[in-house]
Amino acid sequence: MDLFNYSRRETTEVNIGDVPLGGSNPVRVQSMTNTSTMDTEACAEQAKRIVEAGGEYVRLTTQGVREAENLRLINAALRADGCMVPLVADVHFNPHVADVAALYAEKVRINPGNYVDAARTFKQLDYTDEEYAQELQKIRDRFVPFLRICRENHTAIRIGVNHGSLSDRIMSRYGDTPHGMVESCMEFLRICRDEHFTDVAVSIKSSNTVVMVKTVRLLAQAMEAEGMSFPLHLGVTEAGDGEDGRIKSAVGIGALLADGLGDTIRVSLSEAPEAEIPVARKLADYITSREGHPYIPGAVPPDFDYLNPSRRKTRAVRDIGGDNPPVVISARLGGEDMVFDPALKPDYVYTGRHLPEKGGNMQYIVDADVWTARDNVWPAFKTDQLPFVAGCPAALKFLFVTYMGLDDEVLACLKYHPEVVLIAQSNHPNRLGEQRGLAMQLMTEGLENPVVFFEHYAEDVAEDFQLKAAADTGALLVDGLTDGLFLFNQGKTDARCAESTAFGILQAARTRISKTEYISCPGCGRTLYDLPGTIARIKAATAHLKGLKIGIMGCIVNGPGEMADADYGYVGAGRGKVSLYKKKECVAKNIPEEEAVEHLIALIKANGDYVERD
């Protein structure tokens, strides 16, 4: 894989109705209905709305045989209206349901974590090698007849691993690790290969973007090592809604698409299903538009591990670099107002040639030729001002530089001036490639100057700015190359939007926590309570609890597993009933929906994690 020059991974083509996946086909976008699969009319109408928004596949939950059989009626209703979108059945827990669904859907998703393995108990179980082999044979014995049904009915499949639903068997052998997630998938893919069944797509998802990115990278390598080239379905589970859901999805999905990984994407938002499609389309189009870009002559340093990256070693300059979390730099040019959101206050403000007033507790950056020595003002140089760096007494200096401008003179300056923090710029169509190249050249040269990535846009719509910034920086953060973000948009958004986006990206990449994190699923036909309304109520009561993670899950499928990363969980247990979790432990069952939010707040308070609003 070329980490500097974009090209899509070569994959086999999968036949899914009249909309093939992988191969030379474009990146497909899809969504999932949240209506009851027994309600034929509601499912058909929602599927049409997804298609009208640009969706190319529509997935429906099939929790039982009745739902699987009703796919026939839904399919027929859509075809009668001239809507030929392929339907995808989503199956958990019951392999017989998958057998039935394969008769009526163009594709069936199965979850290796619960296809044959017993329901999770989250207990440490021990398997001898012989017992483990016996379990694998059980999977083969059950899975091969399903593949035969799919072959006879021209039905494709997706092997869909979720971080939150790894089986106890996999956990016992591999632990809760990316290797365990990959092996859970590979067990099934090897059977597909042995049976010469090729209409297979693969996914590995997590609500943790870093886990998701690292695991898909590892899966792609594992498939290549075993001669497989199945297409990849990408998604961040339980991404949430609004700005946070979009940024989180773009960080994870964007980091993989940017490296050519991914053939179809689903942006899982806790919103109407059709709202997911434009977001997914923008993300796919933005990344794939860099195809054929000018060549970037980058080189990977020997100590960089793409599959298991660690943070680049840097020497801290004040609070930038070293072991410090990445900083946020904002721009307020031409005397703009200095009003900030107290919860999302940038660490530094670049004011260009405008000298800020004295006093205050803000740290400022100004152009070097107007800089005067003050405790809270720091100079920013351009590469044509290098001769003046040595004579500047500031303990912290910034240098705007591009990858192609990182010449011998600049490298020599950095060697003798560890107090210089680089602000890496790029106007290249593949700015990720250039900025990766810059950071990796510093690694090769043994230089430990911190790097802040400057990302410049001209977007009039906040969502477009957020998606592009998150997609461009996701891989840089996962790769451990980032000591700070400096986002700037010349479009019709203000500086506060850039600041909020920067903090949102850092939180999505798990590098700096600045607010409450919500791990909320998008809902589906399994959800038996008002998910959007509940999310709004929980946010209203807990949004001030900085650093707390709260899972809000429609049902038990991924609930406890994905919420292992959350401090508290709110999980649908039945129609109008909710269970509450403290991490993986269920602490209250079947609470009436109308009382559950209040019970959740009481649980948080009882554990000492609640503080009153300021």
List C-alpha distances in Å: 432 to 290, 304, 407, 429, 472.
11, 16, 19, 9, 6
The contacts of residue 245 (CB under 8 Å, 6+ apart) are 239, 267, 268, 269, 270, 271, 520
Q: What is the pLDDT of residue 575?
A: 84
Give tens-digit pLDDT for 272-296: 999 999 999 999 999 999 999 999 9
- Tell me how far apart the alpha carbons of residues 542 and 430 are, in angstroms, rounded to a whole number: 39
Helices (H) and strands (E) in the chain, counts: 16, 23
Q: What is the pLDDT of residue 561?
A: 61
Q: What is the pLDDT of residue 339?
A: 86
What is the pairing mode between strands 57-61 and 28-32?
A: parallel
Q: Best-predicted range by mean pLDDT among 126-140, 434-448, 526-540?
A: 434-448
The phi-psi region of residue 347 (left if phi > 0; otherwise alpha if psi is between -120 and 50; otherwise beta) is alpha
Confidence of residue 555 (pLDDT cuts 50, 70, 90): confident
Give tens-digit pLDDT for 92-102: 989 999 999 99
> Percentages helix, strand, coil for the chain, rounded to the nearest 5?
40, 20, 40
Q: Answer whether residue 358 shows pLDDT above 90.
A: no
CB atoms within 10 A of CB 54: 14
Token representation of residue 176? 């809760």
Q: What is the pLDDT of residue 557?
A: 65
Confidence of residue 560 (pLDDT cuts 50, 70, 90): low
Q: By C-alpha distance, which of 286, 199, 278 is closest to 29?
A: 278
Give all domains of the chain, ordered by start, each with its CATH number.
13-288 (3.20.20.20), 327-508 (3.20.20), 517-606 (3.30.413.10)
Share of the chain above pLDDT 70, in %: 97
What is the pairing mode between strands 517-520 and 549-553?
A: parallel
For residues 590 and 579, the answer to whether their CB atoms sit within 8 Å is yes
- Tell me how far apart the alpha carbons of residues 363 and 378 are, in angstroms, rounded to a whole number: 8
Give tens-digit pLDDT for 178-218: 999 999 999 999 999 999 999 999 999 988 999 999 999 99
Give tens-digit pLDDT for 567-597: 898 988 888 888 999 987 889 998 998 999 9
Confidence of residue 107 (pLDDT cuts 50, 70, 90): very high
Q: What is the pLDDT of residue 609?
A: 92
For residues 211 and 532, the answer to whether their CB atoms sit within 8 Å is no
Q: Answer whether residue 48 shows pLDDT above 90.
A: yes
Secondary structure of residue 569 in the 3-state scheme: strand
E strand or H helix at 409 = helix 408-416
Q: Answer whether residue 241 shows pLDDT above 90.
A: no
Q: By C-alpha distance, which of 233, 226, 225 is closest to 204?
A: 233
Q: Answer whether residue 343 shows pLDDT above 90.
A: no
Angle formed by the axes of helices 209-225 and 462-478, nearest 10°: 60
Q: Answer whether residue 428 shows pLDDT above 60.
A: yes
The DSSP bridge partners found for residue 356 are none
b/e burial code for range 378-396 (CB count within 10 A of at least 16 → b): bbbbeeebbeebeebebeb
